[in-house]
Structure 1
Amino acid sequence: MKIGLVRHFKVHCPHKRMMTSKEFREWSEKYEHSKVIKKPVEMYGIEWDICYCSDLPRAVTTAKEVYSGNIYFDKLLREVDNAPFIHTERLKLPFEIWHICGRLAWFFRSKSQPESIQGTRKRINQFLDKIDWEKENILIVFHGFMLFNFQRELRKRGFHGTNVRHVKNGFLYEYTKE
């Protein structure tokens, strides 16, 4: 059995270098609806039996480019929201600080984040418990931070594959189970 994980194409959504918490939140909302930059994805000739996809536009566009059959959209595959870790009115921080500290706040269970680490893992397992395991080759198209966390849960279920630390856009990661 094979599971293929694909992160959506790169999103065209420029940002300022320095921003307040409000500007970071506004950029995050704009990112949700921005266009993607399409590119070829090497699928290694694998015949995927089924494709599951996040229902967010950037993932939907990507899935339609890499898979030609019916696609099953699921909100459980949505990206983990990355909210500002502190609220600032005038203080501007670099974009990277907002992004990294938001993820650290999620990891350390800060109340600043809309979803907890336990909530993310629960959501991943809810999805894994409901998919059609009768299929031999399952393709999943979704988001970077979800993919990063998803691989952990696949390993717990006996799958083997590359331990991805930096998830690339529009790239297929394969996991197998005998």
Structure 2
Amino acid sequence: MSLGLVRHFRVQHKPERTWLTGEQFNLWIQGYESAPIQQPGHKSNMQKWDICLCSDQARAVHTASYFDAQEFVYTEQLREIGIAALHLGELKLSGLRLPLSCWLVLARLSWTAGHRSQPESKAAVLQRAHMVIDSLAAKAEAAAPEGRVLIVSHGAFMKVLDRELRRRGYKAERMFFPRNGQLFLYEKK
């Protein structure tokens, strides 16, 4: 079985300000979750897929529609790792204004460090990745044992999936920072 892992297409959502408070950052994240994707110029003419496993978040669902698959399965298990503005106990850093990129880095670093300000713990995300590979890939393999399976997900969660797939013997091009719409092909040796 060969697996394709692709990040959703670029989202059309820009911040109104360059410097945001933590509350404004959280509102920006909510807007990002519901924003439309930039439509690619044409449907994907890459490979045909037997099954497409896709995050149930709108940006991934819309992206999946551009790929040619016989069957689509939408699941919350492939959702992006949730993030929120860092807060330290009762101190929510409400007066602090930072650029969007700083809030994003702080949120991912605090998630990596296991800070409780983040909506989903690192342990929960790793467990979810294990479950995705175990259950969804098993279903896909049963449906198409020698076939091609496409997984449409999100940047940070893709990196977790990449590590788990490599741990299980899959080989692919090295994933440093997955770009929107970039396809990574995995083969099990």
Structure 2 residue aligned with 1:6 = 6
* Counterparts of 1:70 and 1:3, CA distance in 2: 15
* Counterparts of 2:35 and 2:119, CA distance in 1: 22
* Counterparts of 2:186 and 2:19, CA distance in 1: 38
Cα RMSD of the aligned pairs, angstroms, is: 1.4
Pick from 119, 128, 144: which aligns with 2:155? 144
> Aligned to 2:169, what secondary structure does the other structure show?
coil
Structure 1 stretches lacking a partner, 5+ long? none
Structure 2 stretches lacking a partner, 5+ long? none
After superposition, residues 1-178 of structure 1 pair within 5 angstroms as 1-15=1-15, 16-39=17-40, 40=42, 44=46, 46-86=47-87, 87-131=92-136, 132=139, 133-134=141-142, 135=144, 136-178=147-189
- Greater shift after overlay, 88-97 or 22-31? 88-97
> Aligned to 1:70, what secondary structure does the other structure show?
strand
TM-score, reference length from structure 1: 0.94
Check the 8 A contact 2:48/2:67 in 1, yes or no: no
Check the 8 A contact 1:22/1:88 in 2, yes or no: no
* Counterparts of 1:158 and 1:71, CA distance in 2: 25
Judging changes above 3 Å, is the alpha-carbon distance between structure 1 residues 47 and 67 closer, same or farther for their aligned structure 2 residues? closer
Give the Å deviation of 1:148: 1.2
Tell me how many residue pairs correspond in the alignment.
Answer: 177
> Aligned to 1:49, what secondary structure does the other structure show?
strand
* Counterparts of 2:5 and 2:160, CA distance in 1: 12
- Greater shift after overlay, 109-118 or 128-137? 128-137
* Counterparts of 1:70 and 1:176, CA distance in 2: 21
**1:114 corresponds to which letter in structure 2?**
P
* Counterparts of 2:37 and 2:7, CA distance in 1: 12
* Counterparts of 1:8 and 1:92, CA distance in 2: 29
Check the 8 A contact 1:8/1:58 in 2, yes or no: yes
Give the Å deviation of 1:43: 5.7
* Counterparts of 2:62 and 2:120, CA distance in 1: 25
Give the Å deviation of 1:94: 1.0
Taking only the aligned residue pairs, the percentage that are identical comes to 33
> Aligned to 1:109, what secondary structure does the other structure show?
coil
Check the 8 A contact 1:3/1:138 in 2, yes or no: yes
Judging changes above 3 Å, is the alpha-carbon distance between structure 1 residues 137 and 68 closer, same or farther for their aligned structure 2 residues? closer
Check the 8 A contact 1:53/1:60 in 2, yes or no: yes
Check the 8 A contact 1:41/1:171 in 2, yes or no: no
- Greater shift after overlay, 76-85 or 88-97? 88-97
* Counterparts of 2:7 and 2:43, CA distance in 1: 11
